[in-house]
Amino acid sequence: MRALVVEDDPDLNDQIASALADAGFAVDRAEDGEEGHFLGDTEPYDVVVLDIGLPKMDGIRVLEAWRAEGRKMPVLILTARDKWSEKVTGFDAGADDYVAKPFHMEEVLARVRALVRRAAGHASAELVCGPVRLDTRASRLTVEGNAIKLTALEFRLIAYLMHHEGKVVSRTELIEHLYDQDFDRDSNTIEVFVGRLRKKLGVDVIQTVRGLGYCLQAPE
């Protein structure tokens, strides 16, 4: 999963980005509205954490511009605790949820995970595909109850496929959602990661759709 954090406070930006990275997200960052708008308009994010009070272009204008341009990614806005009007304006602009400052990072992570699940059509925090289970709260993958040890990129790959079970996902889409913008992307590495995952899982759930990509399906 790939996330964008748009927050002008460098320390808070660092904290949110680090927490998301620890939770298995590839994270891009911006510290002003113009850069945030550009990234959100040109990159495919699974979720955005957007501060309202931004320099150069405020968060409401950024969000309104994204929605006017047809960008549908879930957006969690950060608001001032006492300003209920910011929350109303944010929802009217197209926000999906909000957290008021100051906040606990666990709440931000929980709301981000919920937005990503809802966007993919899942209601539960645990995603299941046959014997494979992904606990999105604990970032934990098990097969028949046994925990599987994965690298960060292997986890991002299986998490993305689990969120999109039954759908054919192209290599290009996986590359766009597994890596942040600064990563040296190589489509050949996807095949390597899929091969490693298949060995670690030990069950036939990742199908290759020739010429199109991969599809996660429970074994018959």
Q: Determine the Cα–Cα distance for residues 153 and 50; give it in Å rounded to an integer.
A: 25
Model confidence pLDDT, tens digit, residues 28-43: 999 999 999 999 999 9
Angle at 36 between CA 35 and CA 40, to 5 degrees: 120
- Which of 119, 146, 175 terminates a domain? The answer is 119
Verify that 112 and 130 share a domain, yes or no. no
Verify that 115 and 190 share a domain, yes or no. no
Verify that 198 and 152 share a domain, yes or no. yes
Q: Structurally, how many domains does the chain consist of?
A: 2
Neighbouring residues of 16: CB distance < 8 A, sequence distance ≥ 6 = 5, 7, 49, 105, 108
pLDDT band at 57 (very low <50, low <70, confident <90, very high): very high
Which one-letter amino acid corresponds to residue 119? A
Verify that 134 and 79 share a domain, yes or no. no
pLDDT of residue 116: 92
- Contact by Cβ (8 Å): 126, 112: no
Q: DSSP assignment, residue 211?
A: T
- Contact by Cβ (8 Å): 117, 177: no
Verify that 74 and 140 share a domain, yes or no. no
pLDDT of residue 16: 96
Three-class DSSP labels, 64-116: HHHHHCCCCCCEEEEEECCCHHHHHHHHHHCCCEEEEECCCHHHHHHHHHHHH
Section 60-86 average pLDDT: 90
Chain length of the chain: 220
Section 203-212 average pLDDT: 91
Position 182 pLDDT exceeds 90: no
- Residue 67: give its domain's CATH number: 3.40.50.2300
Q: Which domain holds residue 20?
A: 2-119
- Percent of the chain past pLDDT 70, that is, above it, reads 96
Helix axes 171-178, 152-163, angle to 10 degrees: 120
Lowest mean pLDDT among 43-47, 69-73, 158-162, 216-220: 216-220
pLDDT band at 183 (very low <50, low <70, confident <90, very high): low
Verify that 20 and 114 share a domain, yes or no. yes
Identify whether 102 is preceded by a cis peptide bond (ω within 30 of 0).
Answer: yes
Verify that 17 and 48 share a domain, yes or no. yes
- pTM for this entry: 0.81
Position 185 pLDDT exceeds 70: no
- Percent of the chain past pLDDT 90, that is, above it, reads 66
- Residue 194: give its domain's CATH number: 1.10.10.10
Verify that 153 and 189 share a domain, yes or no. yes
Verify that 44 and 69 share a domain, yes or no. yes
